[in-house]
């Protein structure tokens, strides 16, 4: 009675939707795609991916390709399904939108499996109930100075101990100016990180790293294109700033190469790009073997419980984007997040905010 009986797909939009920009993208919608699996016994599991406004037809097509494929699998057969889907999509490559769909189905299977056993995911995976540090993320380049200051002050007032700011402005001087304003606003007891979203060339990233030394920047995320391993190696050895990356990766190969070059300080797997729960944990184990801490990208509602199951948990990124459209927001207190104790992932999207696709 634990076989997958039906698969449904939905779109939802955050109640916090706004026009925002980083160094490489203008984002007009904070949108999500939700996979909902129903088992023969009536148990329902959900998983979601952050889609923004991008490629809705491509996403729908990939979803449609796998709608019937997954029916009939036992809900615990995550590895078997992953292997079978990987063979199916090999002709067009394993990276890209099909991987996103595979991962989201995997996440929904884990949710249904946890609900069927009436246990939270972290407990199924041998984790313990403990808090995980989180940082307030944002600092979009499209913000006015006042919007930027208001956001970081809000994070500080809520007990966050760290904030992340977008960089990659048309000039390094503008980035430095914004970072200084943030430092003045939050004081010296709050860590500040910067994220270029791959939007800088190597000379500019090196210049910014050196100029930001006096501001005491905690780490530099995705300063340059993620495939420039030599560039990451140079930045790490020419500056004193820690480097973080990994959110763009669909496999463990870039992680291995960065480790080989001693060009990485923090590994940032994106649970959807990397392929779901099992691949996320595999990447964390590889990082742990080389003493590289894990600091996942975006999906705190999945990452917090998973981080309680690994030795090298460093922290998680915090956005509030889904909070207005789910039934149970994760507890964040004094800069720490606590895994939910309910079965599965411990939350679900509310159907009044979901449009079937």
Q: Is residue 226 part of a domain?
A: yes
Q: What is the mean pLDDT of residues 82-93?
A: 89
Q: What is the mean pLDDT of residues 69-91?
A: 93
Domain that holds residue 55: 4-118+350-356
Note the pLDDT of residue 228.
97
- 73 and 152 co-located in one domain: no
- 114 and 129 co-located in one domain: no
- 101 and 134 co-located in one domain: no
Q: Is residue 104 part of a domain?
A: yes
Q: Is residue 194 part of a domain?
A: yes
Please name which of 54, 15, 55, 10 lies closest in space to residue 33, comparing C-alpha atoms.
Answer: 10
CA atoms within 13 A on the CB side of 103: 27
Note the pLDDT of residue 90.
87
Q: What percent of the chain has pLDDT over 70?
A: 100
Q: What is the mean pLDDT of residues 23-44?
A: 95
Note the pLDDT of residue 89.
86
d(CA 181, CA 175): 10
Element (H, E) at 31: strand 31-39
Q: Is residue 345 part of a domain?
A: no
Q: Which tokens in the block code for residue 336?
A: 């720490």
Pairing assessment for the beta strands 336-338 and 331-333 based on DSSP bridges: antiparallel
- Between the alpha carbon of residue 153 and those of residues 20, 89, 157, 195, 304, the distances in Å are 19, 46, 6, 19, 24
Q: Is residue 135 part of a domain?
A: yes
Residue 173, φ and ψ in degrees, nearest 5: -60, -40
pLDDT digits (tens, 9 = 90+) for 155-201: 999 999 999 999 999 999 999 999 999 999 999 999 999 999 999 99
- 114 and 132 co-located in one domain: no
**Is the Cβ–Cβ distance between 270 and 250 less than 8 Å?**
no
- 17 and 110 co-located in one domain: yes
Note the pLDDT of residue 94.
86
d(CA 17, CA 83): 36
Q: How confident is the model at residue 354 (pLDDT cuts 50, 70, 90)?
A: very high
| Rg of the chain, C-alpha, whole Å | 20
Please name which of 37, 38, 45, 50 lies closest in space to residue 271, comparing C-alpha atoms.
Answer: 50
Q: How confident is the model at residue 140 (pLDDT cuts 50, 70, 90)?
A: very high
- 72 and 172 co-located in one domain: no
Q: Can you give the CATH number for the domain in which 182 is found?
A: 3.20.20.120
Q: Kindly report the pTM of this predicted structure.
A: 0.95
Q: How confident is the model at residue 88 (pLDDT cuts 50, 70, 90)?
A: confident
Note the pLDDT of residue 92.
86
Tally: H helices and E strands in the chain: 12, 15
d(CA 90, CA 2): 28
pLDDT surpasses 90 at 19: no
> Bigger pLDDT: 91 or 337?
337
d(CA 97, CA 272): 10
- 210 and 318 co-located in one domain: yes
pLDDT surpasses 90 at 245: yes
Q: Can you give the CATH number for the domain in which 30 is found?
A: 3.30.390.10
Q: What is the mean pLDDT of residues 220-233?
A: 97
Q: Which tokens in the block code for residue 289?
A: 């073997």
- 97 and 147 co-located in one domain: no
Alpha helices in the chain (DSSP H): 56-67, 78-88, 97-117, 121-124, 145-157, 172-186, 202-211, 229-238, 253-260, 271-274, 277-289, 300-307
pLDDT digits (tens, 9 = 90+) for 249-292: 999 999 999 999 999 999 999 999 999 999 999 999 999 999 99
- 206 and 60 co-located in one domain: no
Note the pLDDT of residue 39.
97
**Is the Cβ–Cβ distance between 106 and 82 less than 8 Å?**
yes
Q: Is residue 344 part of a domain?
A: no
Note the pLDDT of residue 18.
80
- 289 and 172 co-located in one domain: yes
pLDDT digits (tens, 9 = 90+) for 296-314: 999 999 999 999 999 999 9
Please name which of 104, 136, 98 lies closest in space to residue 345, comparing C-alpha atoms.
Answer: 104
Number of domains composing the chain: 2
Note the pLDDT of residue 224.
98
d(CA 9, CA 26): 26
> Bigger pLDDT: 5 or 17?
5
d(CA 296, CA 307): 9
- 48 and 152 co-located in one domain: no
- 146 and 44 co-located in one domain: no
**Is the Cβ–Cβ distance between 110 and 78 less than 8 Å?**
yes
Note the pLDDT of residue 93.
85
């Amino acid at each position: 009675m634990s076989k997958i009986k039906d698969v449904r797909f939905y779109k939802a939009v955050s109640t916090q939707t706004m026009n925002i920009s980083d160094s490489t993208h203008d984002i007009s919608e904070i949108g999500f795609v939700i996979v909902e699996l129903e088992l023969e016994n009536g148990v329902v599991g959900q998983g979601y991916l952050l889609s923004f406004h991008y490629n809705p037809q491509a996403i729908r097509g990939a979803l449609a390709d796998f709608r019937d494929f997954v029916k009939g699998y036992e809900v615990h057969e995550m590895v078997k399904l992953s292997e079978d889907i990987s063979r199916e999509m090999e002709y067009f490559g394993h990276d890209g939108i099909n991987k996103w769909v595979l991962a989201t189905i995997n996440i929904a299977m884990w949710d249904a499996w946890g609900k069927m056993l009436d246990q939270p995911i972290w407990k199924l995976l041998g984790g313990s109930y403990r808090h995980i540090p989180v940082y307030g993320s944002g600092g979009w380049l499209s913000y006015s100075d006042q919007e930027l200051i208001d956001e970081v002050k809000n994070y500080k007032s809520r007990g966050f101990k760290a904030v992340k700011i977008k960089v990659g402005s048309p000039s390094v001087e503008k980035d430095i100016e914004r970072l200084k304003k943030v430092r003045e606003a939050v004081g010296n007891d709050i860590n500040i990180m910067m994220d270029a979203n791959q939007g800088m060339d190597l000379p500019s990233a090196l210049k910014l790293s050196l100029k930001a030394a006096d501001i005491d920047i905690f780490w530099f995320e995705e300063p340059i294109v993620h495939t420039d391993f030599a560039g990451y190696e140079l930045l790490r050895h020419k500056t004193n700033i820690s480097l973080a990356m990994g959110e763009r990766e669909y496999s463990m190969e870039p992680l291995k190469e960065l480790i080989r070059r001693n060009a990485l300080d923090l590994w940032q797997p994106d649970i959807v790009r990397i392929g779901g729960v099992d691949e996320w944990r595999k990447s964390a184990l590889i990082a742990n073997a080389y003493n590289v801490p894990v600091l996942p990208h975006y999906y705190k509602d999945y990452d917090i419980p998973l981080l309680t199951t690994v030795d090298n948990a460093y922290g998680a990124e915090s956005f509030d984007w889904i909070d207005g459209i789910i039934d149970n927001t994760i507890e964040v207190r004094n800069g720490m997040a606590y895994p939910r104790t309910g079965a599965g992932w411990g939350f679900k999207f509310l159907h009044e905010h979901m449009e079937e696709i």
